[in-house]
Amino acid sequence: MHCPVCGHDCVTDARALLTELPGRFAPCPDCMGLVYDKQSPPPDIDTVEPCPSCGKRFIDEVFARIYRVMVAEGDLAGTEPLAAVGTPLVHPGSAMHRAPYLPPGSLVLLSRSVGERAAARLVAEVPEVRGVVRTGAATPGIKDTDAAPQVYTLLAGCDVRADIFHTRAGPIVVYKQQSALHIEFPRDRDPKILALEREIGRHRPRTFVDACSGAGTLGLAAIRAGVPHVIANDAWYAAAYWTAYNLQVNRGPGVPGWAELFLSHRPQYIWGLAWVARRHLLPETAVSGGRSLRKATAACRIHCVPTEKPRPMRSAERYQSPGGGGDLLPRVPVQARKGADLP
């Protein structure tokens, strides 16, 4: 599938991604690698190269190589612990019980310390590195619709990656651009998904509203749980975009014939959206979110058929992905009216 950030085929549908997951981070008989102390600088020894048989390398060896590049470029002094490199996010992310052996293109690095020169070298010289993102103090997204959205900076490569979440009805795959959306950590038993499934089982709603959808995790879980109509809303247009994208990625058995996505622009109260869903859509509605974010925005309604590619949104404003390359991600139209159907 076409990646909206880098333009390459680094996005695959859920079925293909899940098929290769069981052995993706497992070592072959020829793999080797040292476990490093994360609270100390790595020892002054040569790092192990990727395995000649399977091409994988133990994550500590990869981090030690990243550390040396950052020291060489002046981003680290060489006295910091190995953990100072940053946060590793593997692709795809899933619940793991042991440290992974990384295949090529499987790691997105989030770091406060990394600079542009080091980032370019990491993508060029360390085959496991998929993309390098410089982080900031704030979490990506919108906390208040009166304030400017926060994003991290994609310095090199591509930061689109997937997380895999398990539900009672089967796994779901959630892609996101990591510089634009918050981190989610998949677990064997996700408390939010368990709570959602419990409430759906108790109330049997015909419509589910995820008022702060993010990349669409809970909406997809509701679809998997058998809710026929799902409405996803988010004030952050990157979140709304990836929610629509993930509907297509997860198309197939268990996905309903249609869903309604409420994409946002002008401030309205989130409680109003929930009230409209209860009063005017269907009487039995489960509502998620809305506690931490008091405002949502006026909704544009899109009918998305998951068996087809989501249609691009008309837009008077578009934004360039932080990486500066690839296609422009669509932004919600400024002129769109509440309830307007976009072609």
The whole-angstrom separation of Cα 74 and Cα 117 is: 10
Residue 177 lies in a domain: no
- pLDDT tier at 305, thresholds 50, 70, 90: very low
List of E strands, 211-327 = 229-234, 259-269, 285-288, 295-304, 318-319
pLDDT at position 99: 95
Q: 169-206 pLDDT, tens per residue?
A: 999 999 999 999 999 888 888 999 999 999 999 999 88
Residue 80's domain comprises: 14-157
CA distance 310 to 307: 9
The whole-angstrom separation of Cα 166 and Cα 221 is 9
- Tell me the pTM: 0.78
Rounded to 10 degrees, what is the CA torsion of 116, 117, 120, 123? -100
Q: In this structure, are residues 133 and 160 in contact, taking their beta carbons and an 8 Å threshold?
A: no
Number of domains in the chain: 2
Q: Which neighbouring-strand residues pair with 164?
A: 173
Note whether 238 and 329 are within 8 A (CB): yes
Regarding whether 199 and 150 lie in a shared domain, the answer is no
Do residues 198 and 128 both lie within one domain?
no
Q: Are residues 63 and 133 in the same domain?
A: yes
Any domain includes 247: yes
CATH of the domain at 305: 3.40.50
Residue 7 falls inside a structural domain: no
Please indicate, yes or no, whether residues 307 and 197 belong to a single structural domain of this protein. Answer: yes
Task: Mark which of 110, 140, 157 sits at the end of a domain.
Answer: 157
pLDDT-derived band of residue 335, with 50, 70 and 90 as boundaries? very low
213 in a structural domain: yes
Same domain? For 195 and 123 the reply is no
DSSP 42-100: PPSSPPPPPPTTT--EEHHHHHHHHHHHHHHTTSS-S-S-GGGG-EEEESSB---SSPP
Q: In a 10 Å sphere around its CB, with 0-12 CB exposed, 13-18 middle and 19+ buried, how is residue 76 labelled? A: buried
Co-location of 231 and 124 in the same domain: no
User: Same domain, yes or no, for 86 and 202?
Assistant: no
Tell me, yes or no, whether 43 and 96 share the same domain.
yes
Q: Are residues 80 and 146 in the same domain?
A: yes
Does residue 100 lie within any of the structural domains? yes
Q: What pLDDT digit, counting tens, does each position of 197-243 carry?
A: 999 999 998 888 887 788 999 989 998 898 877 877 777 878 888 88
Task: Mark whether 125 and 194 lie in a shared domain.
Answer: no
Same domain, 153 and 250: no
